[in-house]
């Protein structure tokens, strides 16, 4: 075996030791902020890249249902060639950024691995540079190598470079171009390694842009021989950068075509790069995490973090350290971007991660919410400068965590109680079936137990669980009657062939006429559009020249004043008339830039190229305008009460509006009243409503401008300004020209959609006025009933009067505050009525029995068949003080259901109860009282007895009593 001379061995060891000393020194220089900024500055200043801020971790509309998990997500339109003309993105050539990423759920889900090793995270930062049709492989590789070796000063001998080895089934040759580039940069041949599709070919999806990639790996050992560890999952040699060359478009699994424009997409994980520059194999041994660990140690007093994993982590503290620190970063980033814990969607992922963090804090570190709140401050200190939204929302994040921890503790208590109830019912089991889990989750045992708590409780009891069956049941329930359909998903879309034909024929619609209207004294005049021509029609997803009577299809005209559903506002409706026919326009949608009028032909037929007249339903449009402007006033008013309130969306119909918001604060009845009054004052102040069109960049620079987070706005937007400083919002909807035209406003409902989410429902105009009238009527009815009760007047109508008031509260249009206040008042009043009527009834029963007993009767048994109630307790209480010397039988009047028979014996009887049960008398038989020298028995029968049966029952009871003496 070949051996190095001793002298050379010493030199090598000395060199390695020097490297470690150097790296140890560098970790004080290469703080995460410097690593991140050095990357950005290098590409900005030396390579002429444009810096684009990180997008939200919450996907925008149309970007899917998973968190942002890669730097390229916000640039998908560029890769797909779907950038709208005039978009700011259209000018991107060279871009650099640091992107917040989350991998929880979906294809890339690192949640279960976090804590159990030194490299996985739910939240991480991806440093990246992009070229969109500008430079390609040679420049990208040169830039990467220069950054690593000259800026970060990594030793070249520690770097390994992979390239695509080809794929015969796709006729893809090895990427020798990439290999040659690395060789020309001076990389030794043994540090350039080929790999196949799995490691070195990147796809955006099942179809779309794709291409080979080259990965750069770092060797922590540095002694040579690291090549064998590349792409093996070893912690000794780790990937630090991936450069993707998008040069193909995948049309199917086996069909790739070369792209006209080739792109570069690179990604470097900040956490791993910081670890490399700190001279450690652990991502958790850098300043991104050590301040968090110090805080945990300081507050919990547990041993300091030791970076141990698996069996070496004998106490489990190091694993818990990593879970808690990682999860706090993820929670902080998501809440800062506007996402709150929820039972569904991405919010459920946040909720699950928060519960895991809270569990670690409570169960492992034995700390209350103080620990998590302190960790949020540390995350804000670490990331707040780079991502200002984190620093800005610091207090909101802590408020959400505080509220969630309180809810979590209640969940544990109630969920455990429900779980135990289920276990008592099921008996000795070793597995939870999917159905058992669903029943727990659905509230069968008195509480809706979160799935993560079900899994934890099952684990504590060593129970197996069938998650697959549970998910299947859950999905089937969603797809069934309990699922609220996504209305947008039900809208028809145009297939690629139709879209291409419309594009080639240059068919477009000018819908600017929707904004052309004038007003005077609350009356609106909408411009009648002249010279309209039908340019295209689609029926059953196919272009057609003719729509026959009775059929429904999309009609595209060259100009329209109809509003297509957008920005939360429902579409207009009306009629279309041509020389050959007419139809109802039931809906208007915008799809891929085309305005689609959904028409049901009611007479004759419609033809392409015919002139048409569009008749707008002006009443519905005006109601939409009133409700949309009121929505802006409501948004402004809410933010004055709940400073952290954030709009989540709105639904503006002709008859009402609903407004969704997220807020940690609560909307008390007092606050609802204040919000309602604020909006009403704005209406009374007759504020002007102006619409201005400008670039998105200009609009976003307006002080105090309001926009929806994660909404995709075009590059030219409308800004709606109300008054001097009432409200300024980005909005494409239609509005009244003056707030006085809204006439009136009323909040009718407030519902909690989920934790932190609220939905406010309101009405305007005549409906708001009607709500005010209903309020007055309700108040009058209540006052009249209250006076009647106080004066004991018309007691025979009290019960019906209460029912009428409850019906108004349930069915009539009323202000939310009025409904809630009077619900409580009427509940209390009903209790007073019940007490008073019971007093009257008890007095009546006492008098009835005393009167009947004062008359002569046969067989020494008194039978009374005119009992006016079936309330057993009330009857027993009523005859408690009546002197009874002989048996009596009390029977409720025949129309009362269920019927009641009460047998009162003025003596003790040991076996009467058993004899009564053995008799043929139908109904539920019970002994209801046995006090002093008196026994009372009841018979309740849900079936009303006939006259003959009643007589038979009387005879049977009489014989039983007589024979029992």
pLDDT for res 172: 92
CA nearest neighbour of 662 among 345, 324, 325: 345
Write phi, then psi, for 171 (nearest 5 degrees). Answer: 60, 35
Residue 239, SS3 per DSSP: strand
Strand 192-195 relative to strand 159-164, pairing: parallel
For 917-933, the DSSP string reads: HHSS--SEEEEEEEETT
CA pair distance 875, 588, nearest whole angstrom: 65
pLDDT for res 178: 97
CA pair distance 213, 164, nearest whole angstrom: 7
pLDDT for res 411: 83
Give the residues of the chain that fall short of pLDDT 70. 1-28, 61-65, 84-86, 106-108, 205, 478-493, 753-756, 858-859, 965
Residue labelled with tokens 């444009």: 50
pLDDT for res 21: 52
pLDDT for res 26: 52
Which H/E stretch holds residue 903?
A: strand 899-905
CA pair distance 166, 39, nearest whole angstrom: 31
And the tokens for 565? 């559903």
Residue labelled with tokens 């026959």: 548
The whole model's pTM is what?
0.74
pLDDT for res 957: 93
pLDDT for res 482: 40
Q: What is the pLDDT of residues 366-416, one digit of tens each?
A: 999 999 999 999 999 999 999 999 999 999 899 889 988 888 888 889 999
CA pair distance 622, 639, nearest whole angstrom: 26
Other C-beta atoms lying within 10 Å of the C-beta of residue 53: 12
Query: Which residues carry a binding-site annotation?
Result: 628, 632, 731, 735
CA nearest neighbour of 878 among 921, 910, 845, 911: 845
Residue labelled with tokens 């424009």: 261
CA pair distance 822, 331, nearest whole angstrom: 41
Inter-axis angle of helices 345-359 and 317-336, nearest 10: 150
CB within 8 Å of 60: residues ≥ 6 apart = 710, 711, 712
Query: Which residues carry a binding-site annotation for Zn(2+)?
Result: 628, 632, 731, 735
Other C-beta atoms lying within 10 Å of the C-beta of residue 71: 27
pLDDT for res 9: 36
Q: What is the pLDDT of residues 633-649, one digit of tens each?
A: 999 999 998 877 888 88
CA nearest neighbour of 923 among 891, 880, 958: 891
CA pair distance 787, 783, nearest whole angstrom: 6
CB 55 within 8 A of CB 711: no
And the tokens for 124? 């991480």
CA pair distance 116, 356, nearest whole angstrom: 14
pLDDT for res 699: 94
pLDDT for res 279: 93
């Amino acid at each position: 075996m070949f051996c190095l001379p001793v002298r050379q061995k010493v030199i090598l060891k000395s060199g390695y030791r020097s490297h470690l000393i150097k790296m140890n020194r560098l970790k004080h220089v290469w703080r995460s902020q410097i690593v991140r900024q050095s990357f950005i500055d290098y590409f900005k200043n030396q390579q002429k890249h444009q810096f684009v801020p990180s997008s939200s971790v919450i996907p925008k509309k149309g970007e899917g249902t998973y968190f942002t998990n890669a730097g390229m997500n916000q640039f998908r339109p560029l890769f797909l060639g779907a950038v709208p003309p005039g978009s700011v993105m259209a000018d991107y050539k060279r871009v650099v950024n640091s992107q917040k990423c989350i991998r929880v759920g979906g294809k890339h889900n690192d949640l279960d691995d976090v804590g159990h090793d030194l490299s996985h995270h739910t939240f991480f930062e991806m440093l990246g540079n992009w070229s969109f049709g500008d430079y390609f492989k040679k420049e990208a590789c040169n830039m990467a190598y220069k950054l690593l070796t000259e800026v970060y000063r990594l030793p070249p001998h520690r770097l390994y470079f992979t390239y695509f080895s080809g794929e015969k089934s796709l006729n893809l040759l090895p990427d020798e171009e990439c290999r040659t580039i690395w060789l020309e940069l001076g990389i030794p041949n043994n540090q350039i390694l080929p790999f196949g599709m799995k490691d070195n070919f990147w796809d955006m999806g099942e179809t779309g842009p794709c291409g080979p990639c080259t990965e750069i790996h770092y060797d922590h050992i540095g002694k040579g021989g690291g090549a064998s560890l590349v792409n093996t999952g070893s912690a000794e040699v780790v990937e630090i950068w991936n450069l993707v060359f998008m040069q193909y478009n995948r049309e199917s699994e086996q069909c790739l075509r070369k792209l006209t424009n080739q792109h570069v997409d690179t990604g470097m994980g900040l956490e791993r790069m910081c670890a490399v520059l700190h001279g450690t194999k652990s991502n958790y041994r850098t300043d991104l995490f050590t301040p968090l660990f110090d805080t945990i140690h300081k507050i919990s007093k547990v041993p300091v973090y030791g970076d141990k994993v698996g069996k070496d982590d004998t106490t489990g503290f190091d694993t818990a350290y990593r879970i808690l620190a990682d999860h706090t970063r993820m929670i902080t980033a998501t809440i800062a971007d506007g996402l709150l814990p929820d039972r569904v969607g991405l919010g459920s992922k946040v909720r699950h991660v928060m519960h895991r963090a809270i569990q670690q804090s409570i169960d492992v570190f034995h700390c209350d919410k103080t620990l998590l709140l302190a960790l949020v401050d540390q995350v804000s200190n670490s990331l707040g400068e780079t991502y200002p939204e984190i620093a800005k929302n610091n207090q909101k994040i802590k408020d959400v965590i505080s509220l969630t921890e309180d809810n979590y503790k209640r969940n544990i208590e109630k969920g455990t109680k429900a779980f135990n109830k289920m276990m008592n019912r099921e008996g000795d089991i070793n597995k939870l079936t999917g159905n058992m889990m669903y029943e727990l989750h659905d509230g069968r045992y008195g509480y809706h137990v979160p799935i993560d708590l079900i899994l934890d409780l099952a684990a504590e009891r060593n129970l197996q669980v069938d998650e697959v069956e549970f998910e299947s049941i859950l999905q089937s329930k969603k797809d069934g009657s309990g699922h609220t359909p996504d209305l947008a998903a039900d809208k028809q879309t145009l297939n690629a062939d139709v879209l291409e034909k419309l594009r080639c024929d240059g068919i477009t619609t000018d819908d600017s006429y929707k904004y052309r209207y004038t007003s005077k004294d609350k009356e609106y005049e909408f411009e009648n559009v002249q010279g309209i021509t039908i340019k295209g029609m689609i029926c059953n997803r196919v272009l057609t020249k003719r729509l026959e009577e009775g059929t429904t299809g999309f009609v595209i005209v060259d100009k329209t004043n109809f509003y297509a559903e957008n920005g939360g506002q429902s579409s207009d409706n009306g009629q279309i008339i041509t020389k050959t026919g007419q139809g109802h326009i039931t809906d208007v949608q915008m799809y891929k830039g085309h305005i689609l009028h959904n028409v049901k032909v009611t007479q004759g037929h419609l033809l392409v190229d015919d002139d048409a007249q569009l008749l707008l339903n002006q009443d519905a449009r005006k109601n939409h305008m009133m409700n949309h402007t009121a929505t802006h006033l409501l948004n402004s008013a809410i933010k004055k009460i709940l400073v952290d309130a954030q709009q989540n969306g709105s639904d503006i119909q002709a008859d009402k509006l609903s407004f969704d918001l997220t807020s940690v604060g609560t909307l008390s009845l007092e606050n609802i009243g204040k919000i309602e009054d604020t909006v009403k004052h704005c209406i009374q102040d007759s504020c002007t409503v102006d619409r201005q069109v400008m670039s998105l960049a200009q609009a976003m620079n307006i002080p105090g401008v309001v926009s929806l987070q994660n909404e995709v706005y075009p590059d030219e937007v409308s800004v709606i300004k109300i008054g001097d400083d009432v409200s300024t919002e980005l909005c494409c909807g239609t509005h009244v020209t003056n707030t006085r035209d809204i006439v009136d406003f009323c909040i009718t409902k407030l519902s909690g959609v989920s934790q932190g989410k609220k939905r406010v429902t309101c009405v305007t105009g005549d409906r708001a006025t009607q709500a005010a009238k209903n309020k007055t009527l309700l108040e009058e009815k209540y006052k009249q009933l209250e006076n009647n009760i106080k004066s004991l007047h018309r007691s025979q109508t009290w019960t019906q009067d209460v029912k009428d008031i409850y019906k108004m509260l349930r069915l009539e249009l009323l202000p939310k505050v009025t409904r809630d206040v009077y619900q409580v008042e009427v509940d209390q009043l009903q209790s007073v009525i019940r007490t008073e009527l019971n007093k009257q009834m008890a007095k009546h029963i006492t008098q009835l029995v005393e009167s009947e007993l004062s008359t002569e009767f046969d067989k020494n048994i008194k039978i009374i068949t005119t009992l006016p109630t079936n309330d057993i307790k009330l009857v027993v209480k009523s005859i408690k003080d009546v002197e009874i010397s002989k048996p009596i039988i009390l029977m409720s009047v025949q129309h009362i259901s269920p019927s009641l028979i009460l047998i009162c014996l003025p003596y003790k009887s040991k076996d009467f109860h058993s004899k009564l049960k053995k008799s043929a008398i139908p109904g539920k038989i019970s002994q209801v009282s046995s006090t002093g020298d008196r026994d009372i028995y009841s018979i309740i029968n849900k079936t009303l007895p006939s006259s003959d049966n009643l007589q038979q029952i009387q005879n049977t009871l009489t014989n039983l009593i007589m024979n029992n003496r």
